[in-house]
Amino acid sequence: MLNFELYNPTNLVFGKGQIEKLSVLVPYGSKILLAYGGGSIFKNGIYEQVKNALTGFEIVEFGGIEPNPHFETLMKAVEIIREQKIDFILAVGGGSVIDGVKFISGAVQFDGDPIDILQKRLLIKDLTKVIPFGTVLTLPATGSEMNSGAVVTIESTQEKLAFGGSALFPQFSICDPTVIASLPVRQLQNGVVDAYTHVLEQYLTYPHEGYLQDRIAESILNTLIQVGPSVVKNPTDYALASNFMWSCTMALNGLIQKGVPSDWATHMIGHELTALYGIDHARTLAIIGPNLYRVMFETKKGKLAQYGKRIFNLTGNEDEIANEAINKTVEFFHTMGMQTNLSECTEDYSKTADFIVNRFEERGWKAMGEKQNITLDKVKSIVEMSY
Ligand code: NZQ
Ligand code: ZN
């Protein structure tokens, strides 16, 4: 097993009715920026629950954080915080609102132009230079509620860029599984596939000595396969909702990544598809992931075979099981309502591979993946195979 440090200061407050605890979780006397998205919180009662729990606090509201949050929008919140001397941010929403708040938190006291946080991928580590924040999660998917990473889009350049740092963990996150009742089917499907792919990014590498991490990862995959198709149909079933929500958090709170190699190239390529065509994040992963495993078959086949045996009970020789495991993954994605070809999501795809390869080259991303052997020619093949 590789050496590791495990640091995760987020107080995860899980279960029905936990939104009430905001009154004690938010530091006493704080002036709060209540950040939210396009308004779903007004229709499903979450806004009222939050406001009721925060009676007595001074609150400034900031809505309109879009899915795949824009730098340009977030900078407006940065100005409000600076002008109004706000000292706590509460993100109420899905991954986009939470990620947006992470950016805002790091940008307010940033020494320089905050766009550098994105374009230079700076790590935000100094706790004295961030605005503390907490979250009320409304969409299980990204794990953003319990990690220190985020992804923000620069609208003007159509770039979707990841950043993070140890100062960007939420102080607390309230995860009430009943909030998923109002989610559209599409978002429920996205949540399952995003979390599933998060596990695969950290698991489908090569056989190693992180036996426990593998078993935890496999348990999350099994649970998502168990509850995913049914939670979409019955989001009010608490057993399904709670296991779905907890699986999403566990998939990307850092735990399964400790001491093991990881890949993340599916996400790096997928982010480009969102930036270019506005395809939902999870849907880009369903398009790219399986083809990445095909192109990188020789590197990944040992682990693909383990995955095939343990998750899908496949038999045969290593190559057969590994190949069939990819097919089973695609089948699961189809069950979860995903389309797995780019041509099903946009008509204008013929130059995508060249565009992405050029961008990666400009950024110096010339070798990705657990063995740094996803080179630009491989990226081109993966994207072309995804058409
Ligand atoms: O904006 P509102 O009106 O709230 O509506 C949202 C949005 O339209 C809606 N929604 C959320 N909760 C709802 C609800 N509708 C009804 N009832 C509820 N309870 O769902 C839509 C999508 O929301 P969004 O936050 O964009 O989805 P998601 O949580 O999937 O987040 C996606 C973003 O997270 C990034 C993605 O790249 C993307 O930008 N990621 C963040 C990661 C991280 N921080 O660790 C990792 C991920 O891999 C991912 O890259
Ligand atoms: Zn993701």
Per the CB < 8 A criterion, the answer to whether 47 and 36 are in contact is yes
Nearest CA to ligand 1 atom 28: 95
Residues 171 and 195 in one domain: no
Cα–Cα distance, 62 to 93 (Å, whole number): 12
Q: Residue 97 is which amino acid? A: V
Nearest CA to ligand 1 atom 18: 183
pLDDT tens string 212-256 = 999 999 999 999 999 999 999 999 999 999 999 999 999 999 999
- Count of CB atoms within 10 A of residue 113's CB? 10
Residues 147 and 237 in one domain: no
Per the CB < 8 A criterion, the answer to whether 67 and 184 are in contact is no
Cα–Cα distance, 212 to 220 (Å, whole number): 13
Residues 86 and 198 in one domain: no
Query: ipTM of this complex > 0.85?
Result: yes
Give how many domains the chain has, as a whole number: 2
| Strand partners for 228 | none
pLDDT tens string 308-345 = 999 999 999 999 999 999 999 999 999 999 999 999 99
Residue 261 maps to which CATH number?
1.20.1090.10
Name the one residue in this structure whose structure tokens are 């709060």: 32
Range of the domain at 96: 11-178
* Helix H or strand E encompassing 227: helix 211-233
Which of these, 263, 282, 256, lies nearest to 271 by C-alpha position?
282
For the chain, what is the mean pLDDT?
Answer: 97
Question: Which pLDDT band, with edges at 50, 70 and 90, does 348 fall under?
Answer: confident
- Residue 193 pLDDT > 90: yes
Expressed in angstroms and rounded, the spacing between residue 110 Cα and the centre of ligand 1 is 25
Residues 60-63: contacts with CB under 8 Å, at least 24 apart: 60/31, 60/32, 60/33, 60/34, 60/84, 60/86, 61/33, 61/34, 61/36, 62/33, 62/34, 62/35, 62/36, 63/35, 63/36, 63/37, 63/38, 63/39
Which of these, 35, 95, 34, 107, lies nearest to 65 by C-alpha position?
35
Name the residue of 151, 244, 255 to mutate for ligand 1: max ligand atoms within 8 A of Cβ: 151
Query: Is the overall model pTM greater than 0.90, yes or no?
Result: yes
Final residue before a domain boundary, out of 178, 210, 228: 178
Name the residue of 104, 138, 142 to mutate for ligand 1: max ligand atoms within 8 A of Cβ: 142
Final residue before a domain boundary, out of 127, 153, 178: 178
Which of these, 149, 140, 197, 148, lies nearest to 174 by C-alpha position?
140
